[in-house]
Structure 1
Amino acid sequence: MFKNVLLDLGSTVDGRLVAHVADFCRKADAELTVLNVFEEPSRSVSSYFSAHHKDLQNIILENYGEQLDNALSDSGLDAQAFTREVRWGKDFIEAIKLVHERKFDLLISASQENAGPPDSTAMHLMRKSPCPVWIHRGDLWKGAVRVLAAVNTSDTSDENRRLNAKIIRHGMHVNNILRGHLHIISCWSGYMESVLSSPRFSEQEKVDYLDFEQKQTEQELAALVKAEGVPDTAKTKIIHGSPAQVIPRYAAEQKMDVVVMGSVARTGIPGLLVGNTAEKIVANLDNSILAIKPDGFVSPVSG
């Protein structure tokens, strides 16, 4: 599943993250490429340095290479453990182009702050990359790793069921690589629950309807877990409420290291999420995120 991994460092130097990802790739038996993307200098800036007999781009690359070599040395990592790639241009665009060119099956973003929404580059990658995107925070693969797969079982369309299955499979795969503890969560709520408070519904009618919705979710999740062969060691949880609030709260309470979730595109509109629920979840998470695309997703960035 993860055999060709791309780590997009942008213009940063982060030997510690490279070492972590190299260790992950070793455990997954995957090849690692580390990408650096630098903003191209303007014509006037290039001309100025050329007039002074300075190759600005080469100086930038040499300076960065020295910094990265020092950072790798501090992390005890051999540079032969991965392939380096350098591009000039817009970070997320060049990263996605490279995904197309080299058929990467996992794209990992540069490290993010431990709280607050991911930066704009990470969000662009999550929305537009054709392969799964890992938005990285903290020291994911150290200690007792906890993996949370968040599925949407209220939507029983074939497309969403296929996406749920992909989320579960990716969650199990990451969990196996990191020898972690897998949790699976699904949220449920009644249709227009506020209307149930109307005098047109008795209290018993309200209870019966919400019980119906909960049982539907339980049955859908049970069928999904059985179909994907989820081991008995995995913990499944069904919680009433909005995913935008429930998933980040559960992830924080259970000290999850990575949340595997869907990044869903509207049919025929590449690169867009359905509504803003997924983005609200991402903005409220303080964990690493593995965002999975549905079948048939078309990136708005071509190769």
Structure 2
Amino acid sequence: MLDINHILVVLDNEHPEQIALDRALWLARSLEADLTLLTNTYEAYCEDDSSLDQETRTRVKQALVDKSEKWLNSFLPEGENNINISAEVHWQKHLHDAVIESMRHKDFDLVIKGTQPHSLLDRIFTHTDWNLLRHCPAPVMLVKSAKPWTHNRVLASVDATSGDTGHQIINDNILSFAEHLSDHFDTDLHLANSYPLVAVAFAMVPEVTAPDDIQKYITEQHEEACAALARKYNIQPDHVHIGEGDADTVIAGIAKDIDADVVVVGTVGREGIAGVLIGNTAELLVDKVACDVIVIKPSDGVKPDAD
């Protein structure tokens, strides 16, 4: 059984619909996991440097927390006796900080949040979703639609030929998680990999001549590496997909072609200006696919199955 026992559901009060909740309830029922619903509330005038007196600050703060608790409780399903569901309101300015605070006190195996299309401003100001993908100490599922998974296909996206230790760890974490997910829900597990178009790279440096058959050599490298991973994780040969081009574009195309229900992808959390201008593949992919995305980091190994 997939060892996801504790699920944290992040509800954003700025979203008109809480599409993550339906997915979380479905997973919790199937996995026999408990759910914690979480949101944040905050007003600067309740802080110590406010001009309001202490008693007023305390009363206003409590009123805001009570309001958020009532809002969270409105999502609790009636007659749901088979799932242990609790709710948490955190006094935090940013929603992702509320998640991090909660995880300091309880170990969650999966964090689920609804997501909407992101703008360049979201990247510049480090949107809540990006902070979760980069810093949350657990796998994060970003839900794109409340519609149920109907095609029974899990797509694991890897960097098959990377010699970097971090990417190799992520590859194993991605495929372990995807394999567990696929086994539990009896779905088809697919593997996706992209490789660069070498001709484009050499065109940018015309003074350097591309070696003969370099593209063929690179293609064969990726095919061999993907075949080895497929054997290790019991993926059928016809479920291995290799494409040429930028990873986010290639993976998004494959996900669409096979009607994937969810893409499992990794991130090493690029920071700073590079993260804003270039972006992480996982972050770019979120806005290019219509299905859910689960993002895995090097520390997000799959726990052993429960006895």
TM-score (norm 1): 0.78
Residue type at the aligned position of 1:168: L
Residues 250 and 142 of structure 1: CA distance in aligned 2, closer, same or farther (over 3 Å): closer
CA distance in 2, matches of 1:82, 1:46: 38
Q: CA deviation at 1:214?
A: 0.7
Distance apart, 1:79 and its partner CA: 9.8
Confirm or deny that 1:232 pairs with 2:239: no
Structure 2 residues not aligned, in runs of 5+ = 302-307
Residue 97 (structure 1) aligned with residue 104 (structure 2)? no
**Corresponding residue for 2:260?**
256
Conserved? CA contact 1:149–1:259, under 8 Å: yes
1:149 & 1:122 partners in 2: Cα distance? 20
Matched residue of 1:102: which SS?
coil
1:195 matches 2:197: no
Residue 59 to residue 181, structure 1, CA distance change in 2 (3 Å): same
Partner of 2:167: 160
Task: Confirm whether residue 81 of structure 1 aligns to residue 84 of structure 2.
Answer: yes
Amino acid at match of 1:164: N
- The answer for the alignment partner of 1:9 in structure 2 is 11
Taking a change above 3 Å as real, the CA distance of residues 100 and 59 of structure 1, as seen in their structure-2 partners, is closer
Cα distance, 1:19–1:79 mapped onto 2, change above 3 Å:
farther
**Aligned counterparts of 1:57 and 1:42: Cα–Cα separation in 2:** 9
Contact 1:49 1:56 in 2 (8 A): no
Task: State yes or no: 1:38 paired with 2:38.
Answer: no
2:306 aligned with 1:290, yes or no?
Answer: no
What does residue 227 of structure 2 align with?
A: 222
Amino acid at match of 2:217: F
CA distance in 1, matches of 2:156, 2:165: 19
Kept after mapping to 1: 8 A contact 2:39/2:98:
no
Per the TM alignment, residue 167 of structure 1 is displaced from its structure 2 partner at its CA by 0.7
Give the structure 1 partner of residue 154 of structure 2.
147
**Which letter maps to 1:28?**
L
Confirm or deny: 8 A CA contact 2:166 2:268 kept in the other structure.
Answer: no
Match of 1:300 in 2: none
Q: What does residue 301 of structure 1 align with? A: none
Does structure 1 retain, via aligned residues, the 8 Å contact 2:190–2:239? yes
What are the residue-to-residue correspondences of 1:274-289 with 2, within 5 Å?
276-278=279-281, 279-289=283-293
Distance 1:178 1:295 in 2: 24
Partner Cα distance (1:172, 1:31) in 2: 22
| 1:106 is aligned to 2:110 | yes
- Give the whole-Å Cα distance in 2 for the aligned partners of 1:282 and 1:107: 16
Runs of 4+ in 1 over 6 A off after TM superposition: none
Change (3 A) 1:72 1:22: same
Q: Is the 8 A contact 2:195 2:219 kept in 1?
A: yes
Is the 2:137–2:299 Cα contact (8 Å) retained in structure 1? no
SS in 2 for 1:147: strand
What percentage of residue pairs aligned between the two structures are identical? Answer: 21
The equivalent residue for 2:304 is none
- Partners of 2:268 and 2:297 within 8 A in 1: yes
Q: Give the letter for the 1:290 counterpart.
A: I
Contact 2:191 2:235 in 1 (8 A): no
Q: CA deviation at 1:194?
A: 3.9
Please tell me whether the aligned partners of residues 147 and 183 of structure 1 are also in contact (alpha carbons under 8 angstroms): yes
**1:5–1:107 CA contact under 8 A, matched in 2:** yes
Q: How far apart are residue 233 of structure 1 and its match? A: 8.5
In angstroms, what is the RMSD of aligned CA positions?
A: 3.7
Query: What number of residue pairs does the alignment pair up?
Result: 286
Distance (Å, rounded) in 2 between the aligned partners of 1:6 and 1:296: 15
* CA shift digits 1:209-254 (9 cap, x unpaired): 21111111011111112223x2438711111111132112222333
Instruction: Give the TM-score taking structure 2 as reference length.
Output: 0.77
Q: Measure how far apart 1:141 and its partner are.
A: 3.7
